């Protein structure tokens, strides 16, 4: 598959467990919406996609279900993913009718079958040609790292479904680790804690709100207290309880530790020369999960490496794959065929 003669309608898509971002060549990011689809169970019709569908989670009548078609960074429901992609591609393209060429991001740890599913879903959704790029590479490009150099850089991407840790040098991934712990596991940990410690049932959205507002990976300068509303399990009635940020940090501790361990294990497996580079070039953090309070400090404390947040953690994978798309075009103008990995390395 080649990108020879890419046209202006080419698109890069960061198909994430939590959010899907669409980058159109020459225009930048045009869509950033939750990866959620509301389906009418009786007819199979798509009722809503994106933020509108996300607002319906936990609030739909029996005939409509709000579905997240991706799990752990990969496609869990093929038909719904296809419908979602078709909707986003159409929306990004306005009135254009030609089938676009796509660059799709995939986690670095995925199987051939999982890659094939992404390609097939994109083709079924209307793409003419599909090329894949590994997310850590896209994140590194989007974060502005000089990845083409013979010098090690580490990227940690904490998304909704997965955490990916990668060491990059000479435009390629040298060592990587992908663990299926991300923002959703943290939300689930909050839900389980509220149930166990307070006998309170809360919805998915409330759990995420608590995590974002109160969650932390290291002690806060000023700990917070918030009132949480849910359904009391024993009485079945609505009830509210006071929760502190210190308590939520405890609720999240095991999952946060699993993420930290993945970073440490990857450092341990990194060849010495590259490990030495990382002591200087440091660790760059991407993905929505790294926005948790005290996360960068915790990674720095546990590894001793200089640690920084990417300029825009939620968009850097999409921006990086968009930049790779521009790069493909520049390369192909000279009549040379390139693969994303090579193109990504030309900076």
Ligand X SMILES: Nc1ncnc2c1ncn2[C@@H]1O[C@H](COP(=O)(O)OP(=O)(O)OP(=O)(O)O)[C@@H](O)[C@H]1O
Q: Which residues would be at the binding site for ligand X (CB under 6 A)?
A: 16-19, 73, 159-162, 182-184, 208, 211-212, 215, 287-289, 291-292, 314
Token match 């953090």: residue?
Answer: 285
CB 246 within 8 A of CB 223: yes
Give 19 or 281: the residue with its C-beta nearer to ligand X.
19
Strands 129-134, 153-158: parallel, antiparallel or unpaired by DSSP? unpaired
Between residues 159 and 215, which has the closer beta carbon with respect to Mg ion?
159
CB-based contact 142:317 (threshold 8 Å): yes
257 binds, among Mg ion, ligand X, none (CB under 5 to 8 A by kind): none
Give 247's contacts (C-beta < 8 A, 6+ positions apart). Answer: 193, 197
User: Residue 168 forms beta bridges with which residues?
Assistant: 153, 173
CB of 150 to ligand X, least distance (A): 28
Measured from each CB, the residue nearest to ligand X is: 183
Residue 289 binding partner per list ligand X, Mg ion, none, with a CB distance cut-off of 5 to 8 Å that depends on partner kind: ligand X
Nearest-approach distance from CB 145 to Mg ion, in angstroms: 17
Return the one option of ligand X, Mg ion, none that residue 46 interacts with (CB less than 5 to 8 A, by type).
none
Q: What six digits make up the tokens of 330?
A: 């520049």
Residue 17 assigned ligand-binding role? yes
The answer to whether the annotation marks 277 as part of a ligand binding site is: no
Find the shortest distance in angstroms from Cβ 72 to Mg ion. Answer: 11
Q: Is 159 in the site for Mg ion (CB under 5 A)?
A: yes
Residues 6+ apart with CB under 8 A from 85: 13, 15, 121, 122, 125, 126
The verdict on whether residue 210 carries a ligand-binding annotation is yes
Give the span between the Cα atoms of 80 and 124, in whole angstroms: 11
What is the DSSP code (8-state) at residue 149? S
Report in angstroms how near the CB of residue 160 gets to Mg ion at its nearest: 7
Helices marked H in the chain = 51-54, 78-93, 112-124, 135-142, 183-198, 204-214, 245-269, 272-281, 295-303, 316-333, 340-345
Q: How far is the CB of 42 from Mg ion (least distance, A)?
A: 33
Residue 41 assigned to a binding site? no
Of the listed pieces 8-16, 59-67, 118-126, 263-271, which binds Mg ion according to CB under 5 A? 8-16
**Could you tell me if residue 265 is left (phi over 0), alpha (psi between -120 and 50 degrees) or otherwise beta?**
alpha
Ligand-binding site membership of 5 (annotated) = no
d(CA 338, CA 320): 17
- Please indicate if the annotation marks 209 as binding a ligand: yes
19 vs 329 by CB, closer to ligand X: 19
Closer by beta carbon to Mg ion, 142 or else 159:
159
The listed partner (ligand X, Mg ion, none) that binds 18, CB under 5 to 8 Å by sort, is ligand X
Least spacing, CB of residue 220 vs Mg ion, in Å: 26
- State the nearest-atom distance from the C-beta of 254 to Mg ion, in Å: 22
Q: Is 16 in the site for Mg ion (CB under 5 A)?
A: yes
Question: What is the pairing mode between strands 153-158 and 163-169?
Answer: antiparallel
Q: Is 160 annotated as a binding residue?
A: yes
Angle between helix 112-124 and 78-93 (nearest 10): 50
Which partner from the list Mg ion, ligand X, none does 11 bind, CB cut-off 5 to 8 Å by kind? none
Annotated binding site for ATP: 17-19, 160-162, 208-211
Q: Which residues form the interface with Mg ion (CB under 5 A)?
A: 16, 159
């Amino acid at each position: 598959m080649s990108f020879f003669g890419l046209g202006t309608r080419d698109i890069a898509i960061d198909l994430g467990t939590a959010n899907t971002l669409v980058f159109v060549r020459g225009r930048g990011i045009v869509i950033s919406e939750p990866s959620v689809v509301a389906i009418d169970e009786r007819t199979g019709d798509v009722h809503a996609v994106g933020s509108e569908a996300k607002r319906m989670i936990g609030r739909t009548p029996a005939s409509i279900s709000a579905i997240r078609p991706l799990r752990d960074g990969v496609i869990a429901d093929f038909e719904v993913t296809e419908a979602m992609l078709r909707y986003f591609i159409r929306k990004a393209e306005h009135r254009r009718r030609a089938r676009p060429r796509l660059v799709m991001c995939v986690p670095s740890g995925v199987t051939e079958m999982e890659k094939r599913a992404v390609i097939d879903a994109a083709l079924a959704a209307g793409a003419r040609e599909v090329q894949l790029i590994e997310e850590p590479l896209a994140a590194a490009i989007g974060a502005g790292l000089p990845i083409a150099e013979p010098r090690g850089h580490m990227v940690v991407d904490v998304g909704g479904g997965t955490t990916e840790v990668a060491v990059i040098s000479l435009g390629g991934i040298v060592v990587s680790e992908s663990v299926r712990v991300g923002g959703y596991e943290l939300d689930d940990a909050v839900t389980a804690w509220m149930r166990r410690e307070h006998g309170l049932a809360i919805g998915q959205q409330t759990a995420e709100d608590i995590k974002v507002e109160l969650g932390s990976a290291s002690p806060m300068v000023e700990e917070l207290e918030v009132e949480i509303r849910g359904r009391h399990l024993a009485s079945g009635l609505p009830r509210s309880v006071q929760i502190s940020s210190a308590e939520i940090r405890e609720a999240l501790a095991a999952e946060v530790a699993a993420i930290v361990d993945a970073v440490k294990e990857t450092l341990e497996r990194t060849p010495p020369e590259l490990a030495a580079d990382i002591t200087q070039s440091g660790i760059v953090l991407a993905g929505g999960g790294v926005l948790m309070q005290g996360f960068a400090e915790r990674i720095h404390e546990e590894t001793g490496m200089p640690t920084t947040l990417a300029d825009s953690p939620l968009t850097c994978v999409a921006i990086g794959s968009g930049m790779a798309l521009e790069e493909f075009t520049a390369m192909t103008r000279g009549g040379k065929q390139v693969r994303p990995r090579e193109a990504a390395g030309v900076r």
